[in-house]
Amino acid sequence: MKKTGLKTNDLILQTITKIVLFIVIIFSFHLFFAGHNAPGGGFIGGLITSGAIVLLLIAFDVKTVKSILPINYVKVAAFGLLIAILSGIGSFLFGVPFLSHTHGHVHIPLLGDTHLATAVIFDLGVYFVVVGVTMTIIQTIGETE
Amino acid sequence: MNNNIIILPIIIPMITAVLLIFFNKQEKVQKYLSAVSSVINIGISVFLVHYVHTNGIISLEVGDWKAPFGIVLVADMYAILLVLTANIIVFACLLFSYKIVDYHRSKFFYYSGVMFLLTGVSGAFLTGDLFNLFVFYEVMLMSSYFLIVHGNSKPQLRETIKYILVNVISSALFVISVAFLYAVTGTLNMADLSLRVAELGSSGIIAAISIMYLIVFGLKGAIFPLFFWMPGSYQAPPAAVTALFGALLTKVGVYSITRVFTLIFLQDIAFTHTFIAWLAVLTIIFGVIGAISFSDIKQIVIYNILTGVGVILFGVSTMTKSGLEGSVYYMIHDMIIKGLLFLLVGIVFSITGTTNLEKFSGLIKKYPTLGWMFFIAALALAGIPPLSGFIGKLKIVQGGFEQGEFVLAFAVLLSSLLVLYSVMKIFINGFWGEEKIPQVLETSQVKSLYVPAAFLLALSLFYGLGTEFISSYIKQAEQVLLSPDLYIEAVLKE
């Protein structure tokens, strides 16, 4: 981009970003939870969430996004890894082999009869790892001169 | 039955690596945490060796899925001995790193990288599934990419590009080989594969796939026409990292060749195993040629890795009781001794600031401990009788003679002479002669570096002198390699 000294006016981009951002994030959550019975899961959910944050980075600049989301993404990735490992180790407590998962129907007040699986916890770990790694890569490359 | 303990040598370094990411700014926490987890890991590995020794092969069906359908982790004696050795090497290299790696580097996740490397290596040894093996290879290789470039010097950057390029290509070949084998047999579990390949009998496609696996693992383990990437790549990183690489990475490739060619591809031994034998001997020859031609001590030790790989593979290719037993002996010896030699080279480098033999001499007057440690390590490498390299090579040569491969077995024997010459050249030119040291480090500064090297040297001495004590474990490892039925039965539990 040519440096003109003038600040470019990207009002339209920024306004649309503010609206679209939430739609994208909700879609990524939808994909994340759909993973058990339909296409989706932690990987694609994480990628789309980071896609939303990248949209923020495009519409605003690195500094602004850092002040909105003061997150250390390396730690996010490590946190996700920890969740994934712990979801596997949880099986030690029940005396079954590593990474054994279980599921069951639970009655939750508002949602009614819900099918819950512990595999979601593992997927949550994957989700965090993908968000963490993608954002680390993009931010690191974006910040180096 | 619940064999969750098999997963611990994989999961403990992994958790440690993750925790180290959180504490990347606190150098003390990093050192203590990695040391403690390493010691715990050694303890668990020792217990597992004992457990497998008394109870036979144990396997864990991850996620409670039955054997051919889920992933299995199998701890037979060979795998678990290698896991123990790998853990010991990592412990020694960690101790060495504490002195060598400064805060500036350690805060950029150095110790996490080492722990992830250990995760990959242990996983590759313990897995019983071909695709899982690929995944653990990648875990190991990614950490090695990170460790080789860590520190950011120019030669490191250049060699990393080569190293990554070669390994990406070999990984792609690995995936293709897995795809071929899956298309032919329809399974990925190693024990199940062994049965199905046996049902197919000797067909051309299986022989072709087996050679593809040889190429893939040969690229990782640096055998004769595929070792070209190794001398440069191992030259670049600092000593502690090279010690890890030299002791662990190529050995995983050799282990995979051993596993695959003693468990799965047994139909056409006359073709495949003769092929391996020739490649092994050529590897040895090129290794010793490299080792005697260089006057850079790091390069000499790097080319000795090649020789070691060749000797182990020759033992495997004989498919005799003594040959396989010898290859197990030699494998463990080679891991320890290569770790030790690279650490010693690292000490020499931190004293003199160079690894070029022409630039220094007469080290033994100021540093007698270092000199004699190097001398014993050199004798052990060449295989002088009371030391650790002897029994393995003896058995391997015996296996070669039993098979009637006199020329090849003699080549293995003769290589010892040249290996001895190459390391004695370091001793004579570097340690003897008049004192000429470009820069001098205080003896007190060097002393703390001796500890990990002395630890490995003591282990190597014990391994050589206590052969009596170790032999029952090695025999058990060799039994599984020689009769794959034991392995299949333990995994599939019919």
pLDDT in tens, B286-305: 999 999 999 899 999 999 99
Residues forming a β-bridge with A117: A103
**Least CB–CB distance from A92: residue in B4, B15, B22:** B4
Q: What is the rounded CA–CA span in Å between residue B253 and residue B239?
A: 21
| C-beta separation of A13 from A59 below 8 A | yes
Q: Are B64 and A82 an interchain contact pair (Cβ–Cβ within 8 Å)?
A: no
The residue of chain B with its CA nearest to that of A88 is: B63
**Least CB–CB distance from B21: residue in A74, A85, A89:** A74
How far apart are the CA of A102 and the nearest CA of chain B, in angstroms?
Answer: 10
Query: Which phi and psi angles does B438 have, rounded to 5°?
Result: -60, -40
Query: Most A CBs within 10 Å: which of B22, B24, B72, B142, as the mutation test of the A interface?
Result: B22
pLDDT for the residue numbered B1: 47
**Least CB–CB distance from A101: residue in B15, B61, B63:** B63
| C-beta separation of A73 from A135 below 8 A | yes
| C-beta separation of B186 from B199 below 8 A | no
Strand pairing class (A112-117; A103-108): antiparallel
Q: Is residue B412 scored above 80 in pLDDT? A: yes
| CA count, 13 A, side-chain hemisphere, B220 | 30
Element (H, E) at B44: helix B27-55
Where are any strands of DSSP class E within B91-191? none
| C-beta separation of B84 from B49 below 8 A | yes
Q: What is the rounded CA–CA span in Å between residue A69 and residue B157?
A: 33
Residue B494 pLDDT level (bands cut at 50, 70, 90) = low
What residues in B contact A88, CB-CB < 8 Å? 11
Partner B, chain A 80-109, Cβ-Cβ below 8 Å: 81-82, 85, 88-89, 91-92, 95-101
Q: What is the rounded CA–CA span in Å between residue B219 and residue B120?
A: 17
Q: Are B61 and A82 an interchain contact pair (Cβ–Cβ within 8 Å)?
A: no
Is A75 within 8 Å of chain B by CB?
yes
Q: Are A96 and B2 an interchain contact pair (Cβ–Cβ within 8 Å)?
A: yes
Which of A107-121, B99-113, B396-410 is the least confident region? A107-121
The residue of chain A with its CA nearest to that of B3 is: A97
pLDDT for the residue numbered A3: 52
| C-beta separation of B99 from B239 below 8 A | no
Q: What is the rounded CA–CA span in Å between residue B450 and residue B105?
A: 22
| C-beta separation of B366 from B442 below 8 A | no
Q: Is residue B223 scored above 60 in pLDDT? A: yes
Strand pairing class (B72-75; B58-61): antiparallel
Over residues B345-359, mean pLDDT:
87
Q: Is residue A5 scored above 70 in pLDDT? A: no
Residue B437 pLDDT level (bands cut at 50, 70, 90) = confident
Q: Are B7 and A78 an interchain contact pair (Cβ–Cβ within 8 Å)?
A: no
Q: Is residue A4 scored above 70 in pLDDT? A: no
pLDDT tens digits for range B163-193: 999 999 999 999 999 999 999 999 999 999 9
What residues in A contact B69, CB-CB < 8 Å? none
pLDDT tens digits for range B23-79: 888 888 889 999 999 999 999 999 999 999 998 899 998 888 888 888 999 999 999
Q: What is the rounded CA–CA span in Å between residue B431 and residue B125?
A: 38
Query: Most A CBs within 10 Å: which of B7, B74, B109, as the mutation test of the A interface?
Result: B7
Q: Is residue A112 scored above 70 in pLDDT? A: yes
Element (H, E) at A107: strand A103-108
What residues in B contact A81, CB-CB < 8 Å? 14, 18
CA dihedral of A27, A32, A36, A40, whole degrees rounded to 10: 60
Which of B393-407, B414-428, B434-448 is the least confident region? B434-448
Residue B10 pLDDT level (bands cut at 50, 70, 90) = very high
Q: Are B3 and A89 an interchain contact pair (Cβ–Cβ within 8 Å)?
A: no
| C-beta separation of B351 from B299 below 8 A | no
Q: What is the rounded CA–CA span in Å between residue B132 and residue B197?
A: 19
What residues in B contact A73, CB-CB < 8 Å? none
- Whole-number CA gyration radius for chain B: 21
pLDDT for the residue numbered B212: 94
Q: Is residue B372 scored above 50 in pLDDT? A: yes
Q: Are A88 and B60 an interchain contact pair (Cβ–Cβ within 8 Å)?
A: no
* Neighbouring residues of B14: CB distance < 8 A, sequence distance ≥ 6: A81, A85, B115, B116, B119
pLDDT for the residue numbered B107: 84
Q: How far is CA A18 from CA A65, B224, B298, in A?
A: 12, 60, 58
Over residues A72-86, mean pLDDT:
93
pLDDT for the residue numbered B440: 66
Q: Is residue B200 scored above 90 in pLDDT? A: no
**Least CB–CB distance from A78: residue in B7, B11, B21:** B21
Q: Are A100 and B63 an interchain contact pair (Cβ–Cβ within 8 Å)?
A: yes
Q: What is the rounded CA–CA span in Å between residue A52 and residue A30?
A: 14
Task: Name the amino acid, one letter, at B52.
Answer: V
- Taking the whole predicted model, whether its pTM rises above 0.90 is answered as yes
- Mean pLDDT over each residue of chain B, to the nearest integer: 90
Of B377, B391, B402, nearest to B459 (Cα)?
Answer: B377
What residues in A contact B11, CB-CB < 8 Å? 85, 88-89, 98
Residue B189, Cα to own-chain centre: how many angstroms?
24
| CA count, 13 A, side-chain hemisphere, B236 | 24
Over residues B321-344, mean pLDDT:
94
Q: What is the rounded CA–CA span in Å between residue B181 and residue B192?
A: 12
Q: What is the rounded CA–CA span in Å between residue A14 and residue A16?
A: 6
| C-beta separation of B160 from B450 below 8 A | no
Query: Which phi and psi angles does B166 have, rounded to 5°?
Result: -60, -45
Would residue B63 be called left, alpha or beta, if left means φ above 0 and alpha means ψ between -120 and 50 degrees?
A: left
Q: Is residue A116 scored above 70 in pLDDT? A: yes
Query: Which phi and psi angles does A44 have, rounded to 5°?
Result: -70, -35
What residues in B contact A89, CB-CB < 8 Å? 11
Over residues B242-263, mean pLDDT:
93
